Amino acid sequence: MNLKHYAVAGILAFGAALPAVASAADLAAGKAKAAVCAACHGANGIAQIPTYPNLAGQNEQYLVLALKAYKNKQRTGGQAVIMQGQAAALSDEDIANLAAYWSSLPAGGGK
């Protein structure tokens, strides 16, 4: 390896050692908005219906992108019509708060 490779490896190693940046979203607001989601995705983010996804512990950025895709009608499969209707009323702030809330919950539902 030449010096360039060592420099790149060092930068990557340093970046991996940095703590993740905390979300500026409002978890309490996300929890309040999540009451509607609980009907399908469960109060603890673990869906009781196998075809519905669990939200607890899901990657925050993934949830943001998914909700925005539903809102913009870019997702069309499965239960998309239902999710499009739910997401249509959400602001970007609502989406950020919901994503932060669901991602903050333990992936196994606390089990």
Predicted TM-score of the model (pTM): 0.77
15 belongs to a structural domain:
no
Domain total in the chain: 1
Residue 78: band (very low, low, confident or very high) from pLDDT cuts 50, 70, 90: confident
38 belongs to a structural domain:
yes
Average pLDDT, the chain: 85
6 belongs to a structural domain:
no
pLDDT per position as a tens digit, 34-45: 999 999 999 999
CATH number (domain holding residue 76): 1.10.760.10
Q: Does the pLDDT of residue 21 top 80, yes or no?
A: no
11 belongs to a structural domain:
no
Distances (CA, A) of 18 to 4, 12, 15, 100: 22, 10, 5, 20
30 belongs to a structural domain:
yes
17 belongs to a structural domain:
no
Its domain, for residue 71, covers 24-104
19 belongs to a structural domain:
no
10 belongs to a structural domain:
no
Cβ–Cβ under 8 Å, residues 56 and 46: yes
Distances (CA, A) of 103 to 1, 56, 58, 67, 83: 40, 6, 5, 13, 18
Q: Does the pLDDT of residue 81 top 60, yes or no?
A: yes
